[in-house]
Structure 1
């Protein structure tokens, strides 16, 4: 008898024929061929294994009465994987990746792989010797498994959050490639994506300098002498630049550790020491509890993936609860020590998350794992991790990019105002000298005064634009104090808000940038009148106010 229409099966499938109490007589044809069994048959049974590589048939003749089975081998294409959107940096420096996965029979494994991306070889200022020496990285670039939407994903979008902020490649230019495999071992790759790995933001200059030298050494051991020179330079004038004895001693220690390093393993220890010293300089105990929280999350995630026992899952969930409590306690302590952090405006899309919400999520996660729904538990853990990644940290300098940009802009304005004042003073001297010699103000002199007026007005416009940007971020005149008080008085009612700005020393309360704006306006007017001496006075007031701002 014939089984009828061919049975569609993936190309590369294995046909297993098992019998008990006797031998089997199997005749195969076409793309069906016998292969050696990969494992021993259960006791008391006989097994024969056949590989289906193309259309074919198999007929079990003994025991008799079995139909002729026909197979249509369907080609097993390689999976497709691509980024659903550009990778994003999370609030605490982790990397979030969203990706699309497709496969005809289902993806069983996906990974993210990074490769270092070197600068163009022909850049100016690069000496020929450096061109010849290939970089000698001390560490392999990061790679890690990606979370699958479900166990055998045929078509779906997955998301993975990975903390790479402590990785030596953090902050480096890299190329990201995603790979996906199906059960047959077919592999698909995404288009390479050039990016800079997110890094932890360090706000203190010495910590930033150490992290930069750490990355240079980690990515090229040949640079060890240059890094040594940089560390030596950082120790100049400790009374000015490293007044804290502990920081200076740490710098001294790591410099001599690098000097004594003779092997790659010793250099890797120096890289670890540079990180530890930078973190100590930047902040305090929050890093330890943050690290413990991440370790507890990772331990639970791995236990869920390997199908650990209920007892182990409970123990690891309790560990995560304790780590989360410590973290939130430390976070609250930092808010108390840095009340100005409460002045930061919240994003209008911010979702408020209470400690009870987090506790409820952990309870649900434990219930899911106990009931055997490990996939759902893994997804919930992933959600929890994303929430914690986006939790607004109380560390000073968070959102430091905006503040640093504003400070750089202000510094440039101070330099420009100083130059403008010098030019105005010189123009006043030239005019006085010409008058003493009996010369009349010529057109060239008038034109020069007009140029100075135009430059002063442009600088004032820049200041106004900066003030608008600061106001948007909640750092405008009066906003810092108001928001800080509102944050601290939130549950005491609005009684104190009506008194804001009343009483007190008005001079102290007025914003330095407002004073600078007013003084620049005076200077512009006096330049328009041809009054260079008066303009110099106003420009001097503008300079003082900018520095105060």
Structure 2
């Protein structure tokens, strides 16, 4: 009887290749998970060699790194050997069987456990096994799972792979062989020692690096501070360095070090001694220290902005600079408020603006700054300029005695305020003397102050200063606050209130005449002349609106009573006045100004067809101007009521005393009267009602404010919102009888109204410009008379823009210089945002 054939033989013959490949994949899985530290260390070491790290460090570091990596590799081998287990055939069968439907391998190898004597049961079992064996044809090798994240939770293998990726991009396999020369019997040892060297000049010299191996000449010129790098390969001691250019004490042991780095500080000799060595004579090029000097006249604008020119030189270029101002106490006029010793103050240090583009080896520039607020403004100082080059060497200018530039005030009271402000900042012990001077000014203020509010501000300031001086409470903070209040009041009086164009025009003319009488500089006169031009333009625009309102039909008025004058005629007269002043013919210039004023007083602006109506913007501006004027009148009345109350207290009989704030009963106003009783109470209530009516009118105007949607329009709305809040505070103060507080709030409301009108004017101008650009020639008319958005004539052909210059004459160069000076000043202000300073630097590079 023939032996029974084992069915498993046919089964495993069918699964021979899928089972073998599955088992091989399991071997790869276990190798990867057991030996991932080994191949990570090998990859990391290969990457370092490809990058040539061994050529950049001393040989001792290479040996140390090799020892560490070798030890790590041995540990990785031991770690992998402990964890690796060869997969068995049974494990491979189980994995392959798990990927098939119904586990056909296990079913084919099973035997019938029960029912073997039952023919029907046996038939079913054989049919089942036949079906399972048919499925074995579907068997495919199982793909191995090579992920080792569970074994490497810190992902250290990716560090090695990243280093290898960098090495493939930036390194080379050729560099790996250089490490063989560091061991005994390497190729470099067989060929003999070798060396490499470089000379790197300082970066500020902008000179290229020099490869010393290519230098065959016996002499080298090296700039001072150049870095020399030498690397020696082969047996240690076969090569040595000999040099006397760095000033270091080179011992025999140090001369044989394989890595040498030193700077050239003097001329001398450099040699590589040994096989293949070389000798050079190094001639050091000295790096000269920079120099700086003042050069040119100092120009001071009307606002006090100074331009102090200077020149600086250096063989390789200046890097930074600083200007220092020190008070020249010996040259100060020590009379009056400066008779006592001044308080100690730090010197003024201002960074010098460096050219953004171009060569800094030899340049001229100007220090631009405004020192008007400093306690030393218009006092003798000594100026010293300092510059520094890239090597850190510094150059100083000779101390120059000059007057610290600052703004000059031509209004008599404003000039007195500034003088006393300087006395207060000189030494706070001058406070009592300053109070006496202010009281003298306030004795008969009618002829000195244009506005009652200015008189009240000075009176309040005097009272505050007197109390602080009396009780010794004049701290640094309060001293600075009082000085700032004096400056603000003087500036307000100097600039004037300018609530309408006529007052502004008269004020500009008065300031110009006062400046000419006091011998102002050409720069100040030029800026005052420009202010007069702007004031004249505003006056003409308001006359035009007024005529349009009074004469809506556009009828011509009696030419014998009015002088018709065009804009060009006025500009020609202004040019003539400026020309006379530049020529020093001040008497003729004053006469021409008088004639111009007479003409302006009798001037009629001619209106074109359809020019009699008012736009919504003009109506809004006129309404705000009326509100501002009424607010000013209300503030003046409040001030007069306060003065009446103070005079009522001053008329008391001697011995009665005068109540201070602590003696005033609750509900009493500043004037010492109960606002709820008698005439005083009725007056305060009337003022409060008028203030409320003004606030209601302002709110009505805010509802229909033009210019919405523009940046200037939003600023105008915010300013008018502040004016509304100030009016509300003034109304409450009036009802409480606190007239001084009410006047302060009314002043804030007027300032906010003026700011809102300025912003609204800008918004209307932007809208007008946009409409002009959009309409183009759609408006009709003579194309030759139309202008493009830049104000140029479009020409007879109707094309946009011509070759006509936007500015003509010498003003072009003066204005360009002013703009460049402002750009240099702002680019040197370190407190500005970096984005803004970068933008200014780019502008300076273009010009």
TM tier relative to shorter chain? 0.3 to 0.5
The higher relative CO (CA closer than 8 Å, separation ≥ 6) is in: 1
TM (norm. structure 2) is: 0.32
Larger Rg: 2
Q: Which has the higher strand share?
A: 1
